[in-house]
Structure formats: structure tokens, C-alpha cells
Amino acid sequence: MRIFALLFCVLTLSQAARIGEISNIVGVRDNQIIGYSLVVGLKKTGDGTTSKFTLQSIANMLKAMNIDMNPVDIKSKNVAAVVVTAKFAPFARQGDTFDVVVSSIGDAKSLEGGTLLMTPLKGVDGKIYALAQGPVSIGGRNERGAGAESHPTAGMVYGGGLVEREIHQDLYHQQNATLSLKTSNFNNAVAIQNAVNAKYRDQVAVAVDPRTINLRLPQNRSMVEFLAEVQQIDIHYAQDSKIVINERTGTIVAGVDVEVKPVVVTQGDITVKILAQDEVSNPAGSVAMDKSLVIGLNENEVYTEKGTTTVANIVRSLEKLGASPKELIAILQAMKSAGAISVDLEVI
């Protein structure tokens, strides 16, 4: 007996959304910063002698402290070379603290119990914007979402980053701003334009493409007040239907009303047959009832009543027949390639 291990999730998409939820303000964003340093205080779980860059880094650090050492004479296993990464928040000010991610780049076995030495963090322009230092914790979750217990060579320094250089942004004196939709959509761009203009009874917003809306500061408002108000405006939000497939877990997420057009697909010993409404007929020996979806597995068949065939119908029917997630994913991909499914199909 085959076990059906697929989780089918049905999304009910909201038709209303705040502008701030579906768009970003151009220029107001995080910046990536990076640095290289050493983690010390490890219990013989650091880099070995094969990581020559670690030995050289230790020698350079000691030399800066007036201790002259030849890298080949260093045998310590309590040190690991690491790359330090972080997100530099918009409008961060000198003295603000933030979390940093520490990842080993040598052959260290674990960073547990270590301390990150002072690390300059640079932006893409090569300038130093922050410093990082502090005890490394591997008891949380790394930035990729995996449990730190399974990745002891990556950890966090909570509050270990310290802002030294600010990124200047004079938002208050600006007379214009730009919104960028998170997903391109002509209808949503026009909806934002109309909603903002209706609120201020003036042509302060112009949609210049399906993703960009230019804003002009109205009278008697500061730019900060204006953007705060704009982000709270509700609009009728149209979201494109999509089928998302996770091949690793066998999970499929789709809207409940995603239609599948007439098609015949055979995958192994499974046959899926979808008929047009004017072609439906009763299978031999079946109950007198029009059928628009016929799915057969060897001698077993599942029928659905006349009506629009959706992805949800197909998944439920295949579940009754014991189809595997791999088979179902292959069937949906074949339907998309044949043009029977018109919405986007995204495999992650």
C-alpha cells in the first residue's frame, strides 16, 4: 500500500491590504555588511594547522600587540577564523546595537563557548560602518532558519554589533518619494494611485509602471507624516494566483479555485482525464451522473461531478488513490507544460 504523505494547503487570499504591507519606500532599506575575524576561547574545537590563513591571522593579531610570532610556530586549536555578516538597518544611529551572524570558514568543529574578537564590518563601498565583538551563541537559529544545534560552526552574537558610521538620509526635507510594489501588478499600482489621490483630493500620486508609484508631498505635511499616512491606506489588492510546490517536503500550496482545463495526463500507472463540459458522459457501469474529471489507477477510478475541475479536485482524488507526492507533482508540472493550468507554477 502506498502512503499519501502530501500536505495540501488551500489559501484564501485577502482582497484588502494596507499600502505599507505590499510596497516598500525606495531608499528605505537594509544594507549588508561583512567582516573577517577570529573566534577565541574554544575547547580544542578550532581550526587545525591545515587552515594556514587562521595561523597567519593569529600571528598578525599578536604582532599588533607587539608580540612577534612565526605562523608555523602556532599550534593552538582554540581559535577559528570566521566571516561575520549582518544587516545594517535604515536610519541606524551611532551607538545602536544589532545582532551579527558568525560563520566558520576553516576546519573548526564547533564555535561553542567562543568569543568573537573586535571585527570591523564594511559595506559594499569598502567603508567601515560598524564593529562587532562578543560571546558566540549557537543555541538559537542561524539566519538561514536551520537549528544551530545541527550547525555548531555557525552562531550569533546577540547585540554584538555597534554602529560607528551612519548612512545619511535626509527624508524630512524631501519633496518627493517613490513606492515600489513587492510584486509587479498594473491593477495594484493604479489602485494605490487612486487611493492616495482620493485621500488627499489632489494628484499627489502617479503610477509610472506596474511596480513604481511616484509621490509628491502635499501641503501642510512633513514627508514623515505623509509616508506614515500613505502606508496605512487600505486598497483593493489583487494577487495573482499561483501554485507553489516544495519538492523536498512534497507540499503543495494553491488557491482553492485554480481551474484546470481539459487535458489527459498519464504518469506511470495513473491517468488523469479532464473533459470539457459539453463532452462529459457517464462512464460505463457508473451511476447516472455527468463526470468532468476521471482519474484512474490500474483498475481503480475516481470520478467527480460535473463542474469546473480545480487543482483541489485533482489533489483530493489522487489522495483517494494513494498517489505519492512525487507523482502528483509530476502530474501538475505536466499539466502546466500542456497549458491546462494557466497560473504560475513555482517549484522551491
Which of the two residues, 183 and 11, has the higher pLDDT score?
Answer: 183
In the predicted model, what is the mean pLDDT of the chain?
Answer: 81
Q: Are strands 242-246 and 344-347 parallel, antiparallel or unpaired?
A: parallel
Residue 213 corresponds to which cell in the numbers above? Answer: 508609484
The torsion of the CA quartet 212, 218, 222, 223, rounded to 10 degrees, works out to: 10
Q: What is the CA radius of gyration of the chain?
A: 29
16-27+170-236: which CATH number, 3.30.70, 3.30.1360, 2.60.40, 3.30.420?
3.30.1360
Residues facing 155 on adjacent strands: 102
Q: What percent of the chain has pLDDT over 70?
A: 81
What's the one-letter identity of residue 276? A
| Domain spans of the chain, in order of start | 16-27+170-236, 31-163, 242-347
Which of 8-17, 34-43, 163-172 bottoms out in mean pLDDT, i.e. has the lowest?
A: 8-17
Distance of CA 167 to the CA centre of its chain: 26
**Residue 9 — pLDDT band, cuts 50, 70, 90?**
very low
Residue 124 corresponds to which cell in the numbers above? Answer: 559594499
Angle between helices 311-320 and 325-337 (to 10 degrees): 150
Query: pTM of the full predicted structure?
Result: 0.67
Answer yes or no: are the C-beta atoms of 315 and 256 closer than 8 Å. Answer: no
CA torsion sign, 317 to 322 to 325 to 327? Answer: negative
The answer to whether residue 333 scores a pLDDT higher than 90 is no
CA distance 155 to 153: 7
**Residue 175 — pLDDT band, cuts 50, 70, 90?**
very high
- Three-class SS string for the chain? CCCCCCCEEEECCCCEEEHHHHEEECCCCCEEEEEEEEEECCCCCCCCCCCHHHHHHHHHHHHHCCCCCCHHHCCCCCCEEEEEEEEECCCCCCCCEEEEEEEECCCCCCCCCCEEEEEEEECCCCCEEEEEEEECECCCECCCCCEHHHCCCEEEEEEEEEECCCCCCCCCCCCEEEEEECCCCHHHHHHHHHHHHHHHCCCCEEEEECCEEEEECCCCCCHHHHHHHHHCCEEECCCCCEEEEECCCCEEEEECCCEECCEEEEECCEEEEECCHHHCCCCCCCCCCCEEEEEEECCEEEEEECCCCEHHHHHHHHHHCCCCHHHHHHHHHHHHHCCCECCEEEEC
Residue that has been written with the C-alpha cell 494566483 in this structure: 241
Q: What is the pLDDT of residue 325?
A: 77
**pLDDT tens-digit readout, 277-310:** 555 454 444 433 344 455 555 455 555 555 567 7
Residues facing 214 on adjacent strands: 178, 206
Which of 245-254, 259-268, 282-291 bottoms out in mean pLDDT, i.e. has the lowest?
A: 282-291
Which of 75, 2, 74, 83 is CA-nearest to residue 36? 83
Answer yes or no: are the C-beta atoms of 92 and 82 closer than 8 Å. Answer: no
The answer to whether residue 79 scores a pLDDT higher than 70 is yes
The answer to whether residue 117 scores a pLDDT higher than 90 is yes
